[in-house]
Amino acid sequence: MLRVITDERASVIQQVRKRGEGVEIGVHEGAFSERLLEVAQPKKLTLIDPWAYDGTRSGALYGGKGMSQEMMDARHGRVLKRFAPQIARGRIEVLRMESQAALARFADGSLDFAYIDGDHSYAAVKADLEGWLVKLRPGGLLIADDYRNASWWGDGVIRACHGLLAEGGAEIEMKLGSQIAFRKLAEPDLASQ
């Protein structure tokens, strides 16, 4: 059956290589993880989120105002329950930790995609884009959510994305609404130059 996918996020993740391996940084309740499973059809998807309460953060979505550690623990529990069948089969792995700590779990050049939707501050998005790009195979997709001037992060996501482009190593594959996808370039073959 032909499925018509209409929303922007789904259109972007449709570009990901099917039956590959990827990560979602920032999981919340796992709503988008479910879309990733359905649309990108990964062989293995790792969900990374500390589900940590931090009173200094902004917004309930990020574990800030209006939240408590008990509420974050309950969120984590709901995600484990939601994906219990996929976790049992090894198709999903849940890492309850900050994205920067999770980097060490992955070999360089091993992933087909990374979807970045964790801490939206400029410094954190910059670190995520740079760190996860290294983990992608050449041709893999690095996708950032909330590429727009909004909320408490202001232009942080936009600036971090532009910084990545300036550094080289990736080119824009697609920009749709507040989604932006970068394709990792192949390493230059220095021996043949």
Q: Using CB under 6 A, pick the residue from 10, 13, 40, 48 that binds ligand SAM.
A: 48
- Beta-bridge mates of residue 62: none
Q: Using CB under 6 A, pick the residue from 37, 61, 80, 134 that binds ligand SAM.
A: 61
- Quick one: which of 167, 128, 146 has its CA closest to 23? 128
Beta-carbon count within 10 A of 176 CB: 15
> Which ranges of the chain does DSSP label H, i.e. alpha helix?
8-13, 31-39, 69-82, 84-89, 99-102, 122-135, 156-167
Range in contact with ligand SAM (rule: CB under 6 A) among 45-53, 84-92, 150-158, 175-183: 45-53
Q: Which amino acid is at 82?
A: R
Range in contact with ligand SAM (rule: CB under 6 A) among 49-57, 82-90, 104-112, 158-166: 49-57
What whole-number distance in Å separates Cα of residue 177 and Cα of residue 10?
Answer: 12
Least separation in angstroms between CB 183 and ligand SAM? 21
- Contact mark string toward ligand SAM, 10..39, x via CB under 6 A: --------------xxxxx--xx-------
In the complex, which residues of this chain contact ligand SAM (CB under 6 A)?
24-28, 31-32, 48-51, 61-63, 98-99, 117-119, 124
